[in-house]
Structure formats: structure tokens, C-alpha cells
Amino acid sequence: MNDISQASASAFQLLISGNNDIWEIISLSFGVSFSAILIATPVALVIAFLLAFFQFPFRRALIALFNTFMSVPAVVIGLSLYLLLSRSGPLGDLRLLFTDKAMIIGQIMLSFPLLVAMAHASFQAADRRAWETAITLGATPARAFFTLMYEVRFGLIAAVVAGFGRVIAEIGCSMMVGGNILHSTRNIPTAIALETSKGEFAQGIALGMVLLVLSLSLNAGVSLFQGKGELQA
């Protein structure tokens, strides 16, 4: 009991004192996850929109596929990416394994199905008249798409926030393809796992607190935006 409260106290100390290592880990975590979401989101939105608004072959199969991929464990995605990127793998020449780029790729793969599925649900629930109105008033399809995104913005923001929440806290994939290298690929979840297994609780608790606060706010954000969307309807 005493140990834990002492560790918690030093955890606070670490955060407040601006301990270099800890803030480096935090910023790497955010950098990687932001990049992944930033890259994945535009593509996911376009795909979600096409799936919701147009008829084409294998549309239903694709929707089912994205829904299925949502529940693939992070460590399995990490493993697949590891095999692809390892020296002897098909993409080994890119020398990406154990870099932050590999972590970004992993997190893109991880967040993409979730982004598509949630954005698809938003577009699906959107009013078809919004699209038709934009078109009949002379909007180009591109502009009509942006208009439609604005109309369902709360659902889309919820999707992005949920996607970010999934990748910022995941450990399996980052561990496999990042390798938890200090100053280069160590992020919050891998650091927590490593430091704790070494018996150094303070850093683990400090990072855990950051993650906890973040998760709580993200979850609150998701429900807030989803609630807003419902009120609008």
C-alpha cells in the first residue's frame, strides 16, 4: 500500500518536473497516433461515403469485411506487419521494421476498419435529400460530399475520436513492429509494460495516468458528439 502511494507521488513528480524521458515518450505516442489518424481518416471517409451512397458489386461484402477487421486483435495486425517488414519479408528492403514509420503503418491498419465502419454508419443514417439537394442546387459531387460531411459532422468526429482512442492505447502492434526502443519507438503503452516489468512503478503509473485521463476524455468526447448527432436528427 505504502509502495503504491509512494510510487504515485513520484509519478506526479515525474510529470510535473518535466522529466525528459517521460515527455519524450508521450510526444512520440501522440505524434505516431496523430499521423496515423491523419493519414487514415480522409481515405476512410471517402470509402465510407461510397459504401453508403452508391451501389456497386461486393458492396455488402466490403462492409462486412470492414466490420470483421474491426475486431482483429492489434497483436495479430502487428504480427502480419512484422512478417511483411522483416528482413526476409516481401517489404524487408524498405528497412522499416522497428521504426516509428512502421508503428504509424500499424496504427493506420488498426484504425482504418473502425473509421470506415463508424463513418459508414453516419453516412448511412444521413438524409439522402441532403445529397440530392446539394446536387440539384448545382454543387459538384466533390462539394456535395463536403456538404454531406458537414451535415453528419458529429458522427464523423465521433468516429475519428474513437479511432484515435483505439490506437493511442494499443500495445500489441507497437510492441511488435516498433520494438520499444528508447528515444525512437517507445510509446506510452510499451513503456508502461516495460517499466512495470522492471519493477519501476513510478514511470508506469505516470504514463498510465496520462492514458487514463486521455481515454476518459476521448470517451466523453465520443458520447458527446454522438449525442449531438442524435439531437440534430
Partner 1 sequence: MSHLIDYKNLVVTLSGKLILNIDSLSIPNHQCTLITGKNGSGKTTLFKVMSGLLKPDSASIHYQGLDMNWKQAKPYIQKDIIYLHQQPYLFDASVTYNIAYGLYRAGESKTAAHNKVMQALDWANLSHLAHRNAKQLSGGEKQRVALTRARILSPRLLLLDEPTASMDTDAKQQTSLLLQRLKEEGITIMISSHETHTVEHIADRHLHIDQGRITSLDHSHSEKVTVLNTSKYNN
With respect to partner 1, which residue has the nearer C-beta, 148 or 159? 148
Question: Whose grid coordinates read 481515454?
Answer: 215
The distance of Cα 209 from the centroid of its chain, to the nearest Å, equals 19
Contact footprint for partner 1 (CB under 8 A) = 127, 129-130, 132-140, 143, 147, 150-151, 232
217 neighbors 162 (Cβ within 8 angstroms): no
**Can you state the angle between helices 153-168 and 201-232, rounded to 10 degrees?**
160
Residue type present at position 81: L
Least distance to partner 1, CB of residue 54, Å: 12
With respect to partner 1, which residue has the nearer C-beta, 133 or 196? 133
Least distance to partner 1, CB of residue 41, Å: 21
Phi, psi of 72 (to 5 degrees): -70, 130
- Locate all alpha helices (DSSP H) within 17-99, ordered by sequence: 20-53, 59-69, 74-85
Least distance to partner 1, CB of residue 25, Å: 41
Phi, psi of 88 (to 5 degrees): -90, 0
Least distance to partner 1, CB of residue 48, Å: 19
Least distance to partner 1, CB of residue 148, Å: 10
Least distance to partner 1, CB of residue 228, Å: 11
187 neighbors 28 (Cβ within 8 angstroms): yes
With respect to partner 1, which residue has the nearer C-beta, 7 or 149? 149
With respect to partner 1, which residue has the nearer C-beta, 84 or 130? 130
229 neighbors 152 (Cβ within 8 angstroms): yes
**Can you tell me whether residue 233 is helix, strand or coil?**
coil
With respect to partner 1, which residue has the nearer C-beta, 23 or 53? 53
With respect to partner 1, which residue has the nearer C-beta, 138 or 199? 138
